[in-house]
Amino acid sequence: MISAGPSIGLEAPYFVDLGRTAEQYDPNNPNHTRNQILGNAGPFRGLFRSNVVLGGFAKVALTFETNSTKNKVFGIETGFMIETFTREIEIIPLATNQATFTSAYLAVYFGKRK
């Protein structure tokens, strides 16, 4: 199976817990040192301040499906995907960030047929 199409990325800012407050991480801020950061401020903090980044993807996969009965389906899909965006995605400040990402995956699916 080969597929391709548009992709939408959400680039959310990273917030750190400083004890009494949570702030967006800035490596140039003198208050954001290892000794003053207690941890991250949670996975949903800053989600509504996300930037939308448009891109596209291409996927190549092999699907293995069994037909044990007419009403039930079970299968495994494994493949490789490449995704590229219109600009570099900032994952880590002051690091070399990329606009293209690759991944390999394995999916197991099961269910009923009508």
Picking from 110, 26, 105, the residue whose alpha carbon sits closest to that of residue 68 is: 110
Number of domain units in the chain: 1
10-residue mean pLDDT series, the chain (114 residues): 95 84 80 79 82 96 83 91 93 83 95 80
Q: Are 46 and 65 in contact (CB under 8 A)?
A: no
End-to-end Cα distance, the chain? 24
Structural domain for 99, as ranges: 2-112
Distance of CA 18 to the CA centre of its chain: 26
Beta strands per DSSP E along the chain: 2-11, 15-17, 22-24, 39-40, 51-66, 72-89, 98-112
Distance CA 92, CA 45 (A): 17
Whole-number pLDDT of residue 68: 66
